[in-house]
Amino acid sequence: MVQAYCVKCKKKGQEMKSPKIVQTARGGYMAKGQCPICGTTMCAMMSKDNAEKSIKAGAKKSF
């Protein structure tokens, strides 16, 4: 589903566990979820199109 960089593990392209799509104060979209390895919160900025695709793929809509 949604891939992001884990700052704690230092691994690129980690699949988020239980991703939630949120809208920022400025109108952008961001995916927030947990790292499957260490459990740290991960965030990934995305476009509106990618956010809609992620929601259709199973991410939770939180806005």
pLDDT recorded at residue 1: 82
Q: Are 61 and 4 in contact (CB under 8 A)?
A: no
pLDDT recorded at residue 8: 95
39 conformational bin, left if phi > 0, alpha if psi -120 to 50, beta if neither: left
Give tens-digit pLDDT for 9-59.
Answer: 999 999 999 999 999 999 999 999 999 999 999 999 999 999 999 999 999
DSSP 1: -
23 conformational bin, left if phi > 0, alpha if psi -120 to 50, beta if neither: beta
Name the CA dihedral angle for 12, 46, 34, 8, rounded to a multiple of 10 degrees: 40
